[in-house]
């Protein structure tokens, strides 16, 4: 079973052989077989696997969803739609069992 904890500020991630120990700012400690680091560009978990500094790609991504009812009816909703140009791209596709239409715009900043 996988347990997801939110609103936790990670202070320390320690490798203990075949397990990991995570100590949070509120004093809580978690021991697990694996840790997924989704704690941002200055990730505590990243420091365990790489000692180099993050490097900017100079790209920005904006994401958003709209209700599928607001999407034009002529689109094939089983497809991923991509628009690609110099230093930018837009990707559109259905999510949440076709209830929403996701859009991601990526461009050089």
How far apart CA 90 and CA 1 sit, in angstroms, is 36
Instruction: Confirm whether 42 is a catalytic residue.
Output: no
Please check the confidence at residue 77 and state whether its pLDDT lies above 90.
Answer: no
pLDDT digits (tens, 9 = 90+) for 49-76: 788 888 888 999 999 999 988 887 766 6
Query: Of the residues 42, 63, 96, 97, which is catalytic?
Result: 63
Residues 6+ apart with CB under 8 A from 70: 101
**pTM (2 d.p.):** 0.58
């Amino acid at each position: 079973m996988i347990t997801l904890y939110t609103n936790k500020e990670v202070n320390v991630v320690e490798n203990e052989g075949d397990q990991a120990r995570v100590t949070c700012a509120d004093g809580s400690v978690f021991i697990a077989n694996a840790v997924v680091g989704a704690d941002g560009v200055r990730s505590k978990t990243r420091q365990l696997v790489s000692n180099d500094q993050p490097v900017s790609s100079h790209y920005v991504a904006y994401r958003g969803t709209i209700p599928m009812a607001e999407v034009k009816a002529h689109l094939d909703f089983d497809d991923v739609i991509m628009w690609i140009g110099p230093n930018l791209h837009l990707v559109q596709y259905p999510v949440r069992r076709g209830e929403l239409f996701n859009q991601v715009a990526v461009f050089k900043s």
